[in-house]
Structure 1
Amino acid sequence: MNQDDLFIAEDNPQKQIVIVAMTGHMLLDFAGPADVFNCANRALELRGRTDGYRVLVASPNANKQVTNSAGIEITCTYSVMEVSGPIDTLLIAGSNDVQNLDDPAYQDFYHWLSAVDQHTRRVGSVCAGAFALAKAGLLNGKRATTHWDRSRQLQKNYPLIQVDPNPFYTRDGKIYTSGGVSSGIDLALALVEEDHGKEIAMQVARRLVFYLNRPGFQVQFGNLLPVYDHQNIAEKIRSWMIGHLHEPLDVVRLADHMNMSPRNFTRVFHKQTGIPPAKYVEKLRVEAARKYLEDTDSSLEEIAERCGLGGLVSMRRTFLRHLMVTPSDYRRAFRTSLADVIT
């Protein structure tokens, strides 16, 4: 194999971007960022510039084959360990099944990854790729994000990381992490803007019909409350609470429904759920209001009353606290698909 094919010469103005596709990924995990960098090349070429990117999609294993979550077999031209450098930016597109990351076939990759940041300007991850960075020790003591549904697991498995499930992407020094799937596009656009300025990044975003800075936070896409085991006290009382959200739901009433003393109910509830009853009730009200905003044309006043969120001011304040968005903005972003285009 010609080694000149594996890296860019030192005097080449292009920055080499290497995207590692882990088995079990979604195609958008690596295809989204790759398209951003390739579109940036086009925008730069139109200005007569040659200082764009060379984009390589590589495998983490020696056989150069990975399988995506839809069962599509992908044969990469290179294994990432064959790319001898210089790598400007390394992105790890993560697996949907983080258990795949423990595959013994990845051990050489993790050994290589643990030292790569010494020779690479930027190292980042897309979605569950954060688990690979964490396994290689690159996230210890750093702020990071991942898909909102994996954030608790990342924090539990790697307690030295400051996991923030809210942003679409984060930066801590030379380490960049992004959230769920399409957030890799957000991150790639930010990297293009960092390299070539807002105007080039904006051209790419427009071409992809995407926001340069997408409004909102990951928390708006996730569930405020986890699914508890059916034996959990929260699950035992959840259905009854949903039917009475428009009524006062203080601890005394909740405990009475469960035939428990308020003190014992509060103790058991907090122990089994990790949160006090009042906070659970508030989150349940917000979850119910979200559904009404997504699926109905009910007025904000009706929804606030139906879900026990008080008036408009109170509901707005509660939404901002939990979802970082107002109810009206949430409705515009998440209302039922095609609701505004069907005639």
Structure 2
Amino acid sequence: MSRSRSSAKKTVVIVATPGILLLDIAGPADVFSIASKEIASQEKGYEIILASVTKNKHIATKSGIRIACDICVTDINFPIDTLLIAGVSLGSLDNIPASFFTWLTAHYPGIRRMGSVCVGAFVLAKAGLLHNKRATTHWEHCTRLQAAYPSVTVDSTPFFVRDGNIYTSGGVTSGMDLSLALVEEDFGREVALQVSRQLVLHLRRAGNQSQFSNLLPSFELKSPLIRSIREWLLKNLDREIRVEYMADHVNMSPRNFARVFLKETQLTPAKFVEKLRVEVARQYLEDTNLSAEQIAEKCGLGNLVSMRRVFIRHLQISPSFYRHAFRTTLATGMAS
């Protein structure tokens, strides 16, 4: 299928797969669409093409809303400036036709830049396009991506990563962060800023994905030892905590305790305690009216200055910014 198009416009192809989140598609599409309207010249901007990864051009999203794609991606025979894999349902990754991966690797050299939204990074990795590259995906799936594709350097921290002409983004809304960055790359900061204002978004969000993720490994509670230690720690966070105290609680020698603890959590006891202090402090900031000074004391983080230092190290944002961004809606109240 061929189309006549203005050579001045940048063709953005957004690839949709069955079972994805609607925002994986709609977020980037709206960013590029609004950018085109903000550009004075009608001959510049973006032409957005929604392409299906299968011959069925009607895609059902996770919300149940069905979308109609313009074309099947393997039928594209026109130049592409930017191609984005708009997420994927990991359960159906193996159901994506082999013809798509053949097409993707064959056309990659002719595409100026290629990227992914959220777990769409798994598609790029399966196609071999992330080999020996740095990449990111949704923080919850970074470990899985790294295990499945060891040649990829997976970074769970950034909202998006660029390595050469490959761009990968984190959780769903990070696709909009990436799209804004691409607009800025193409048409400058002022256009990107106008788009962010129209969408009521930050041009660059403070912090990174870590402010949304769990700092502690999700498998920690599967271990009776770690579960017991965690329960004890939660009752003693406001006190000085040493390895000797933790080991004594489970009747182990400090040396053996430290060795077993590291093996089961991939964290030293000291690092685990610090991350747990931050996790509990986050909960207080979200759900209570306690002052930051009170929270620092209750969590064993010392004073406000030391708590701020720890938050910056782990979350790249201050406690006050975290409270402003994540405080429970009912706790803050709503204007009538």
TM-score (normalizing by structure 2): 0.95
Equivalent residue number for residue 26 of structure 1: 21
The one-letter amino acid of 1:193's match is E
The answer to whether residue 43 in structure 2 is matched with residue 43 in structure 1 is: no
Q: Which residue of 2 aligns with 1:59?
A: 52
Aligned-partner residue type, residue 63 of structure 1: N
1:249-288 alignment, distance < 5 Å: 249-288=241-280
Q: Residue 89 in 1 paired to residue 66 in 2?
A: no
> How many angstroms apart in 2 are the aligned matches of 1:116 and 1:251?
56
Residues 69-148 of structure 1 mapped to structure 2, 5 A cutoff = 69-95=62-88, 97-103=89-95, 105-148=96-139
Render the CA deviation track for 1:198-255: whole Å, top value 9, x for unaligned.
1211111111111111222111011101222433522232122111111222111111
Q: Deviations over 1:236-290 (max 9, x none)?
A: 3212211111122211111111111112211111111111111111100000000
Picking from 292, 297, 305, the partner of 1:300 is 292
Counterpart in the other structure of 1:323:
315
Secondary structure of 1:226's counterpart equals coil
Looking at structure 1, the residues matched to 231 and 25 of structure 2 have their Cα atoms a distance apart, in angstroms, of: 41
TM-superposition CA deviations, 1:65-123 (whole Å, max 9, x none): 3321123333323111111120100000112x4231111x4211112112322010010
Deviates more, 1:317-326 or 1:130-139: 317-326
Letter in 1 for 2:68: T
2: CA distance between counterparts of 1:155 and 1:107? 22
Q: Which moved further from structure 2: 120-129 or 162-171?
A: 162-171
Cα separation, 2, equivalents of 1:158 and 1:67: 28
> Could you say what secondary structure the match of 1:48 adopts?
coil
- Give the stretch that moved more between structures: 269-278 or 333-342: 333-342
Aligned partners of 1:223, 1:284: CA distance in 2, in Å?
10
Q: Give the length in aligned residue pairs.
A: 334
Q: Does 1:233 align with 2:225?
A: yes
**Conserved? CA contact 1:87–1:121, under 8 Å:** yes
Instruction: Report if aligned partners of 1:232, 1:272 keep a CA contact under 8 Å in 2.
Output: no
Instruction: Evaluate the alpha carbon distance shift between residue 266 and residue 170 of structure 1 in structure 2; reply closer, same or farther with a 3 A threshold.
Output: same
Please give the alpha-carbon distance, in whole angstroms, between the structure 1 residues aligned to 2:224 and 2:19: 32
**Does residue 162 of structure 2 align to residue 162 of structure 1?**
no
* Structure 1 counterpart SS, 2:218: coil
2:2 aligns with: 4
Distance in 1 (CA, whole Å) between partners of 2:228 and 2:94 is 36
| C-alpha contact 1:230 1:236 (8 A) present in aligned 2 | no
Aligned-residue offset at 1:340: 5.2
> Which runs of 5 or more residues in structure 1 are unaligned?
none
Aligned residue in 2 for 1:149: 140
In structure 1, give the amino acid aligned to 2:81. Answer: D
* Contact 2:2/2:77, CA 8 A, preserved across alignment: no
SS at 2:59's partner residue? Answer: strand
> 8 Å contact 1:18–1:56 — kept in the other structure?
yes
Name 2:165's counterpart in structure 1: 174
Gaps of 5+ in 2: none
Distance 2:224 2:134 in 1: 32
- Counterpart amino acid of 1:300? A
Distance 1:111 1:68 in 2: 25
Could you say which residue in structure 1 is the equivalent of 2:304? 312
Deviations 1:25-49 (A, max 9, x none): 11000110001111112112xx233
Q: Does the CA-based 8 Å contact 2:223-2:264 persist in structure 1? A: no
Mapped contact 2:2–2:76 kept (Cα < 8 A): no
**AA aligned opposite 1:106:** P
Counterpart contact for 1:66–1:73, Cα < 8 Å:
yes
What CA distance in whole angstroms lies between the structure 2 residues aligned with 1:294 and 1:283? 17
Separation of aligned partners in 2, 1:269 and 1:4: 60
Counterparts of 1:213 and 1:68, CA distance in 2: 28
| 8 Å CA contact retained: 2:87, 2:118 | yes
Paired amino acid for 1:280: F
Question: How far is the alpha carbon of 1:342 from its aligned partner?
Answer: 4.3
- How far the C-alpha of 1:126 sits from its partner, in A, is 0.3
Identity of aligned residues (%): 53
How far apart in 2 are the matches of 1:43 and 1:59? 28
Moved more, 122-131 or 238-247: 238-247
Residues 252 and 262 in structure 1, CA contact (< 8 A), matched pair in contact too? yes
What RMSD in Å do the two structures reach over aligned CA positions? 1.6
Native 8 Å contact 2:206 2:317 kept in 1: no
